Amino acid sequence: MINKNNTIPIASDHGGFEIKEYLKKKLIEAGYNIKDMGTYSIDSVDYPDMIHPLAKSINAGEFKLGIILCGSGNGAQMTANKYANVRAGLCWTVEQASLIRQHNNANIISIPGRFVDEKLALEMVIKFLTTDFEGGRHLTRVEKISKTN
Ligand code: RB5
């Protein structure tokens, strides 16, 4: 559960731009503070150019939770997960958005803008922002994610 006083960064490429704009509007209406880190039009761009700055800010602890989008959600998620303190989860159902918080302590939700509609995207984001990590056995597992040797 994130406090509404916490700012939530959001970023997308052109493939996620329209849903990003919808999410930004609805989340602001709901009382959240949103930092839009681009892109700012439907012109074609390279998703790492928007996703790296957002992931860096989460990695540095500047923001607690963030939202990223691209067409499939995969390029954005792969870019974000390059950072040691980032756990970005790709979601296309509300249950997945809950599970990436409950079980994986995800700090970024990645949304496939070309495969979900606005309503589902908003429902997933609200679930992501309002669900807590369960800890316990899931903490043990999450701690093993970074152990690559
Ligand atoms: C852009 O056409 C598309 O490749 C991008 O949005 C994303 O799906 C990449 O993973």
CATH number, residue 53: 3.40.1400.10
The answer, yes or no, to whether residue 125 has pLDDT greater than 90, is yes
Mean pLDDT of the 93-105 span: 98
Domain, as residue range, for 120: 21-130
**Strands across the sheet containing 88-90:** 33-36, 7-12, 66-70, 108-112, 88-90
- What is residue 117's predicted lDDT score, i.e. its pLDDT? 98
Residues classed as catalytic: 103
Q: Is residue 4 part of a domain?
A: no
User: Does ligand 1 have an atom closer than 6 angstroms to the CB of 70?
Assistant: yes
Q: What percent of the chain has pLDDT over 70?
A: 99
Distance 127 CA to ligand 1 centre (A): 24
User: Does ligand 1 have an atom closer than 6 angstroms to the CB of 69?
Assistant: no
Out of 70, 74, 111, mutate this one to test ligand 1's pocket (max ligand atoms within 8 Å of CB): namely 70
Out of 17, 47, 111, mutate this one to test ligand 1's pocket (max ligand atoms within 8 Å of CB): namely 47
- What is residue 3's predicted lDDT score, i.e. its pLDDT? 78
Q: Is residue 83 part of a domain?
A: yes
Mean pLDDT of the 67-80 span: 98
Q: Determine contact, residues 85/61, Cβ cutoff 8 Å.
A: yes
Q: Is residue 8 part of a domain?
A: no
Report which of 125, 139, 138 is spatially closest to residue 65, judged by C-alpha positions. 125
Q: Is residue 47 part of a domain?
A: yes
Mean pLDDT of the 8-27 span: 98
Q: Is residue 111 part of a domain?
A: yes
Q: Is residue 136 part of a domain?
A: no
DSSP state, residue 91? -
Q: Is residue 138 part of a domain?
A: no
Domains of the chain: total: 1
Q: Is residue 9 part of a domain?
A: no
Atom of ligand 1 nearest to the CA of 16: 6
Distance 2 CA to ligand 1 centre (A): 29
Mean pLDDT of the 69-80 span: 98
The answer, yes or no, to whether residue 29 has pLDDT greater than 90, is yes
